[in-house]
Amino acid sequence: MKVPVIAIDGPSASGKGTVAARVASRLGFHYLDSGSLYRLVALHADLHGIDWDDEATLAQAALTLPATFCDGRVLLSGNDVDQAIRAEHIGIGASRVGALPAVRAALLQRQRDFRATPGLVTDGRDMGSVVFPDADLKIFLTASADERADRRYKQLIGKGESANLPQIRQDIIDRDRRDAARTVAPLRQEPDAFLLDTTELTIDQAVEQVLAWFADRASGA
């Protein structure tokens, strides 16, 4: 029997990861943060002095990366790197390595292997278009650049990190441009994906909307 998949795509800092994780928890489904895989590749490169444009070396690393996900933690070679991969410069690196076709190809099957019973909720930028084109529900989750910058700023300040709001906003705009312009798996809303703009929504409201759409699909409505 086909394992159901909810694919949530969207730009950086739109809240898709938080929404996807909560939807997965409510449904009892597995959860895949696909962006963490690209962040892990960028972190691996950073730790080993590999240029983020070295496509061949990074693709090989992506194939053999000793990465595991356990109890909500991201592990690299058995070390908890969840905080390290969330650093702003690693996010920028993830966007750059994610634009490399060989890296995306190397990670494709690793992502598909997360599909298991009773179901999977996954978020990223090409989940519905490339990784799971047969997903039962596709959602393009977004918010205004100003709102996304404000969320990221508050998140960083809440962690006790320094943050510059105008710079964060510019970084988000630049990343949107790179993600939308790349030749392989560009960021875009698929024709069969629901648009969910969270600019004026709380996380709970966004989660309830996703669950409602999934319930409609499951019932054939």
- The response to whether 49 counts as a known ligand-binding position is no
Which SS3 state, helix, strand or coil, does residue 53 take?
coil
Pairwise CA distance, residues 154 & 148, whole Å? 10
Say if residues 67 and 76 touch (Cβ distance below 8 Å): yes
Helix residue ranges per DSSP H, the chain: 16-27, 34-48, 55-64, 88-97, 101-112, 145-158, 165-181, 203-219
- The response to whether 68 counts as a known ligand-binding position is no
- The response to whether 129 counts as a known ligand-binding position is no
- The response to whether 17 counts as a known ligand-binding position is yes
- The response to whether 24 counts as a known ligand-binding position is no
- The response to whether 14 counts as a known ligand-binding position is yes
| Segment holding 87, helix H or strand E | none
Burial of 28 (0-12, 13-18, 19+ CB in 10 A): exposed
- The response to whether 98 counts as a known ligand-binding position is no
Residues marked as binding for ATP? Answer: 10-18
Residues marked as binding? Answer: 10-18
